[in-house]
A and B are shown apart, each in its own frame.
Chain A
């Protein structure tokens, strides 16, 4: 068996040899700069702890990086069909499932890379404008270390991001149209809160199994729960997301491996 990482390397090459990817990365650096600069201009240097500023930047970045990951994930599958390169890709001595897995892995690596850059950029920009403090007071009453709090935040965001991106991956595999996949994923991302409010009205026990309610896990950081009127644990939320991710992936795999390539 030839090396699986060769395939991941190929996928990475197709991501990072594109100018668009580096423009995305540039935006991930510029957003925290812009936000820090804006808040500095509005309130002056003494106004806030750098961690509170980083928190604001990070919430913007979460949406942005999720969308970027979805764009890359849908391009990785639907793009091959659009470009016609799928015909050259699938006639190699590799199983289709392995090829799809390499795309999925490269998508996760992309998300990790961008989150790491986002973390570093939002931290540095906030420190440059607001100075460094080791107190977590600006973030939360309960947190002891701001580092632990921020890392936990990024960890939780990563989990939600993967759920949304996997949804995009499935759509792209099912419809072979990156536009549709990106659109529906953004809808999932943005409608989460609206739908959460809607489901809260239902006040039924099954509401806690609805995926939309678990896309924002950050309430757990302050001891809350993302599901209105019901107590849930972080483990429960992650289990729910994992179940959905497995279903999404099962659909992608089935469609991608069975499909006749006629285009």
Chain B
């Protein structure tokens, strides 16, 4: 799997003025994968992304994109990348279309493809207006258009949802997942918005103070098993928690609290617990898994510095 990785970071290091900003990061992103890069502000997300797209030099280690090192064959490596680094800043005095023509000339993209991409991001109506008059959402869509028009194998997005309204965020998320699914484009996206990442990504790496402290899978479909939604704690809402606890003697019952009990249980045990409670004449109002959100886990691993 790793030999086919579209991006490979190997011992990537960045030092600025004697300070190590990025400390020997290694990770692989696979084709068609939406990979999240998560970390509090100042953890080095943007620096890493700037190194991937060639805006910053590497102090150590290497980055391979589609097998090409950004150190030795930059043009080849970066020609497979489309990116939005922070806000998509465009030439405001040009029209949206002229902006796209500008970047198309640099990547050898045909006029037909520009029209196609404009259609795709839904800017057909306004594409010949000056970018100055665009809303943030429209600029973001124009940013996506310039990033995908040369059909890159890798899309790199830095904080793409910054400043977008919920509809815009959702639109972007759906579009990215569609790209990954239908065109096999890999997406490398950074954010500090955990709930967003949870909805968008297949895998996330958690970065803190320039080091990767965890890489984990978020999708069960991948067959790797999700370790984010830790199944274990099951919460039963009941009318008499103390009686319920007594009834569950021997089933490894956990704690009672106001309005319910929690039991450490898998699928089968959950059914057994429920049966027992009903038999004991206790009213069960609800059963749900106590899942840990990515946010809980994030704060857990990043500790008190984890204010995102």
Report 5 cross-chain contacts, Cβ distance below 8 Å, ordered by A residue.
A7-B106, A18-B93, A90-B54, A94-B106, A261-B56
Report yes or no: A93 in contact with B78, Cβ–Cβ below 8 A.
yes
Which residues of A line the B interface, CB within 8 A? 2, 6-7, 9-10, 13-14, 17-19, 83-85, 87-95, 258, 260-262
**Chain B residue with minimal CB distance to A1?**
B75
CA gap between A91 and B90 in the complex, in Å: 14
Question: Which B residues are CB-close (under 8 A) to A2?
Answer: 106, 108
Residue B76 lies at the interface, judged by CB distance under 8 Å to chain A: yes
Q: How far is the CB of B22 from chain A (nearest CB, A)?
A: 12
Query: What's the minimum C-beta distance from B291 to chain A, rounded to whole angstroms?
Result: 38
Whether the pair B105, A91 counts as a contact (CB closer than 8 A) is no
**Interfacial chain A residues near B108, Cβ < 8 Å:** 2
Contact A14 B107, beta carbon cutoff 8 Å: no
CA distance A113 to B76 in the complex (A): 36
Q: Is the CB of B56 within 8 A of A91?
A: no
Contact assessment for B78 and A261 in the assembled complex, using a CB-CB cutoff below 8 Å: no
Say whether, besides A90-B55, A91-B54, A261-B50, A10 and B86 are in contact (CB < 8 Å): no
Interchain CA distance A50-B63 in the complex, whole Å? 66
Complex CA gap A192/B16 in Å reads 40
Taking the closest CB of chain A, its distance from the CB of B148, in whole angstroms, is 13
Whether A92 pairs with B90 at a CB distance below 8 angstroms is no
Q: Which of A85, A90, A92 contacts B91 (CB 8 A)?
A: A85
Chain B, range 108-135, C-beta contacts under 8 Å to A: 108
- How many of chain B's residues touch chain A, expressed as a range? 20 to 34
A-B interface, 5 closest residue pairs, ranked by CB to CB distance from nearest: A84-B89, A93-B79, A92-B106, A261-B55, A93-B75
Known: A88-B146, A260-B50. A10 touches B93 (CB 8 A): no
Whether the Cβ atoms of B105 and A7 lie closer than 8 Å is yes
User: How far does the Cβ of B1 sit from chain A's closest Cβ, in whole Å?
Assistant: 27
**Bound-complex Cα distance A95 to B75 (A):** 7
The answer, among B83, B92, B146, for a CB contact under 8 Å with A83, is B92
- The reply to whether A10 and B102 form a contact with Cβ atoms under 8 Å apart is yes
Q: How far is the CA of A14 from the CA of B103 in the complex (A)?
A: 12
Query: Would B98 and A13 count as touching, CB distance under 8 A?
Result: yes
Say how far B248's CB is from chain A's closest CB, in angstroms: 58
In this assembly, does B88 line the interface, its C-beta being within 8 Å of a C-beta of chain A? yes
Contacts of B107 in A (CB 8 A): 92-93
With known contacts A6-B105, A9-B105, A84–B87 Cβ distance under 8 A: yes
B235 interface contact, C-beta 8 A: no
Beta-carbon contacts of B251-265 to A below 8 Å, as 1s and 0s? 000000000000000
| Contact status of A10 and B105, CB under 8 A, knowing A88-B89, A94-B75 | yes
* B74 at interface by CB-CB < 8 Å: yes
Interface bits B54-92 vs A (CB < 8 Å: 1, else 0): 111100000000000000001110110101011111111
Whole-angstrom distance between the Cβ of B46 and the nearest chain A Cβ: 9
Q: Contacts A91-B53, A93-B76 known; list 18 others, CB within 8 Å.
A: A9-B105, A10-B102, A13-B98, A13-B101, A13-B102, A14-B102, A18-B93, A84-B86, A85-B91, A88-B83, A88-B146, A91-B54, A91-B55, A91-B81, A93-B78, A94-B106, A95-B74, A262-B50
> B47 — nearest CB in chain A belongs to which residue?
A262
Q: For the complex, give the distance between the alpha carbons of A94 and B54 in Å.
A: 11
Q: A10 — which chain B residues lie within 8 A by C-beta?
A: 102, 105-106
